[in-house]
Structure 1
């Protein structure tokens, strides 16, 4: 399964209420408009010579624009290399070199702050973006349907089934430099199928908030809920008061955060001033969580905390501790 299939096959293609919403850049696209944007950008990639199974990287903050780039990469049959903007420039260069990436979507601010880009890449290997545009094209243009008769052959040379490389994900790097874990079609299909099984559609319209880096678990988890027809809210970083307000305003149902970010929410003076009744899955992972903090989170956000364990090297939901599991463990005193 390609990443763009989670978009193209979503029931939200016929549901005008579900959208990709960029809270930082005031951008909102329907699923069909996202498809249109990905086709325009995929055509640009093809003109630049990107072929099936080439590696193309994204190096940009969380944004709807970044999602457009990811879907375009997938639509030409290339493999996506996500680069975390919070990692050092040098460590990301190592990942680019290891992957032999042929092209890079890069945020204009990152490129300006790192003049070494010009030493590593030709102008034709870079496509610049910010929250409002990609390759100089505003969303007002990108979101329009391609011209009548436009033919985009997006799968003609893509390996079939399990053989297709979909993404390269950086490992933790605890024993040296990060390695690159290869995720193929089967890995993505398995991961998202497990996620959909253990976290089925809620009883209200699904809305997933991405505030932790899109390049890691928070972004990876968004594809399964796309296939369920959810709205995707995007913000770059975790500002506690803003995030708490967004949950209430947009009736967020799904949220992924590491424990350290949850601690910041719990410590905020207005944490009890908002309505979190829409939350169905407050997903935490990536590190152990204090039992006392977990009890506090359940008291404030409700019995909606869920925990998973996995690694980039072992895609990726290896264990699942449901909201009900949490409640039962606390009642029995097992926590």
Structure 2
């Protein structure tokens, strides 16, 4: 078994089909496979052995896909790093993973130069683009590589992708995804998510180091055309132009924040987006009001996937058929859910004693199945914390209704306990977003000597709007119990996010407490 053979097989079946479009670059499946083979052969020639880790630090582009599949083919484990990381952050990941090689883009040469001397295991540095004097040129390596297929024979549980979590609550941990995990994800994709046809053009607005990269595996298996934007940041107009020009049928995977940016783009109605048949999103819950706007704009083409780096892209699914504005309160309520559990996955909602709760009751979501990671890299205690009683504990709080729909409430660590009562931030955030002047909101708990924690809502208004505290409190009184309404409301122009668009509540809370320590009274 080797998940890199996905590309080998696609090239054999569809050698002349266009695999990648990136600006003026066009690569057929034959060419993409040969370039990946050349890099894989050179990794081996430079001493990379099966099981070694290879860092990938690049912006989206054909070389990222080549690096990913070449690493798989060589039997090594890919360590993709978010392109928005700080040099200290990717130095931590490279050191923690013990990466022996890195394939990096020229944009990262200066940052990497400041930290490479602190990484004794990193002895092979391959640079794309402008030379550095201390790295091996990518294209020169490929020119001398072997284009023939020579995929390493890997065991199902051999490490394939070391997926570093986003680190919203501390240092990122490396989730060990093996070839069998990725094969499970890839095999289930056409059956449950989207079956690609010969005319499918798949746009990757999100980072290929994250969900879009994971889904590049089943998309490659189906011989889809990967359309990769050339911009270095998310630009709604570039996305619209690419959809219209290339008749994009599928947006692979983007964060809810990106969907909101598309919806808020002033030029959205200037473009012909009628070719779109599928838009995949996930990584964070999408608020219902934004989701309804998206359905009204594009129709029932959206599909939400709930998964984690620890269970790559595969826990539950809110299908395109579920994304409907039927007017039936029962079916529209499902828009607040993460859908139903995927095939061949077991899911339980467990209480503090690890016992199943009744339908509708709140507990921690736990799963088991062949998609679940092997554990955290070099962190046996953290692994033991999440694997208990034969279940992987996700850290997400939620409920499941009688129809099997799973509703995410919050991360277990983000639940607020005020005066002994549980307050779930997402529930309050959904209500505050009903105000037309609210663009984004983050609800956090602030230390309180009397109540333990008090509820604070940090609100980012829409451009030109000025929601007032009185209006927002009145909205809360209309929809929620009194103890759930915020004690503090703070307005600010932006909210801190990680490279994948998730709001960094931990960082936000630290900043607020540092600026206004009197808040914690």
- TM-score bin (small chain): 0.7 to 0.9
Match of 1:291 in 2: 288
Q: Choose from 208, 228, 243 the match for 1:247.
A: 243
Matched, 1:125 2:121: no
Over aligned residues, Cα RMSD in angstroms?
A: 2.7
Structure 2: gaps (5+ residues): 336-521
Aligned residues: 325
Matched, 1:172 2:166: yes
Q: Note closer, same or farther for the CA distance 1:131–1:230 as it changes in structure 2 (3 Å cut).
A: farther
User: Whose strand fraction is larger, Structure 1's or Structure 2's?
Assistant: 2
In structure 2, distance between residues paired with 1:159 and 1:2: 6
SS across alignment from 1:182: strand
In structure 1, distance between residues paired with 2:297 and 2:136: 44
Deviation string, structure 1 residues 217-274 (Cα, Å, up to 9, x no partner): 1211121111111000112432110101111211212212111111111111111122
Q: Aligned runs of 1:31-42 on 2, under 5 Å?
A: 31-42=29-40
SS across alignment from 2:260: helix
Match of 2:361 in 1: none
Match of 2:7 in 1: 7
Asked if the contact 2:200/2:249 (under 8 Å) is kept, the reply is: yes
Q: Choose from 315, 326, 346 the match for 1:318.
A: 315
TM-score, normalized by length of structure 2? 0.58
Matched, 1:205 2:199: yes
SS across alignment from 1:232: strand
In structure 2, distance between residues paired with 1:101 and 1:203: 37
Q: Choose from 257, 260, 271 the match for 1:260.
A: 257
In structure 2, distance between residues paired with 1:3 and 1:27: 25
Q: Which has the larger radius of gyration?
A: 2
Deviation of 1:144 (Å): 11
In structure 1, distance between residues paired with 2:221 and 2:150: 22
Q: Note closer, same or farther for the CA distance 1:328–1:271 as it changes in structure 2 (3 Å cut).
A: closer
In structure 1, distance between residues paired with 2:189 and 2:85: 27
**Structure with greater contact order relative to length (CA < 8 Å, sep ≥ 6):** 1
Match of 1:88 in 2: 86
Q: Aligned runs of 1:73-112 on 2, under 5 Å?
A: 73-112=71-110
SS across alignment from 2:85: coil
Q: Note closer, same or farther for the CA distance 1:246–1:328 as it changes in structure 2 (3 Å cut).
A: same
Deviation of 1:115 (Å): 2.6
TM-score, normalized by length of structure 1? 0.88
Matched, 1:305 2:302: yes
Which has the larger displacement, 6-15 or 36-45?
6-15
Asked if the contact 2:211/2:313 (under 8 Å) is kept, the reply is: no
In structure 2, distance between residues paired with 1:116 and 1:131: 17
Deviation of 1:131 (Å): 9.8
Q: Note closer, same or farther for the CA distance 1:250–1:208 as it changes in structure 2 (3 Å cut).
A: same
In structure 2, distance between residues paired with 1:93 and 1:215: 16
Deviation string, structure 1 residues 152-202 (Cα, Å, up to 9, x no partner): 6442xx442x22211100113233201000011110011122222112325
Deviation string, structure 1 residues 62-120 (Cα, Å, up to 9, x no partner): 11011111122112111100011112221211111111111111112211244324413
Deviation string, structure 1 residues 287-324 (Cα, Å, up to 9, x no partner): 22222221221122221011111111123320101111
Structure 1: gaps (5+ residues): none
